[in-house]
């Protein structure tokens, strides 16, 4: 049974849109496979590096007054690691300082 999201996408597409894509999607199952593959790629990327700075730890600031300046990534704290790994490191570092609730 295909997901509601894939079914909606399939029902919204016209034959012209399918032809423009360069590929024919004959079934909802085909779209379901493509969606599952995209979700897996996204999950694999999230497990390997920070998605905000693409693993660099720094990014080019584009705010109006700082365009071109390099800023440290606030999500991974400049490490380039995935967010889950950064949180585990912080949790381990501060575990001895955490007071148990009475």
pLDDT tens digit sequence for 4-20: 776 677 667 777 776 66
Give tens-digit pLDDT for 32-48: 888 888 888 887 777 78
Residue 95 shares a structural domain with residue 64: yes
Q: Please say if the pLDDT value at position 76 is more than 80.
A: yes
Cα 30 from Cα 24, distance rounded (Å) = 10
Is-contact 58 31, C-beta < 8 A?
A: no
Residues 63 and 30 in one domain: no
43 and 53: one domain? Answer: no
The Cα-based distances of 25 to 9, 21, 30, 31 in angstroms read: 11, 9, 6, 7
Q: What is the mean pLDDT of residues 75-96?
A: 88
Q: Are residues 91 and 74 in the same domain?
A: yes
Residues 84 and 99 in one domain: yes
pLDDT, average across residues 54-82? 81
Residue 23 confidence (pLDDT) above 80: no
State which residues form the domain around 93: 49-102
Same domain, yes or no: 58 and 99: yes
- For residues 62 and 21, membership in a common domain is answered with no
75 lies in the same domain as 85: yes
**Overall domain count for the chain:** 2
């Amino acid at each position: 049974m295909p997901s509601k999201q894939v079914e909606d996408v399939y029902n919204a597409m016209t034959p012209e849109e399918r032809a423009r894509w360069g590929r024919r999607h004959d079934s909802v199952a085909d779209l379901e496979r493509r969606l599952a593959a995209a979700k897996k790629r996204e999950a694999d990327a999230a497990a390997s590096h920070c998605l905000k700075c693409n693993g660099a730890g720094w990014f080019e600031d584009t705010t109006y007054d700082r365009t071109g300046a390099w800023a440290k990534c606030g999500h991974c704290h400049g490490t380039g690691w995935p967010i889950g790994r950064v949180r585990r490191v912080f949790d381990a570092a501060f575990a001895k300082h955490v007071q148990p609730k009475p």
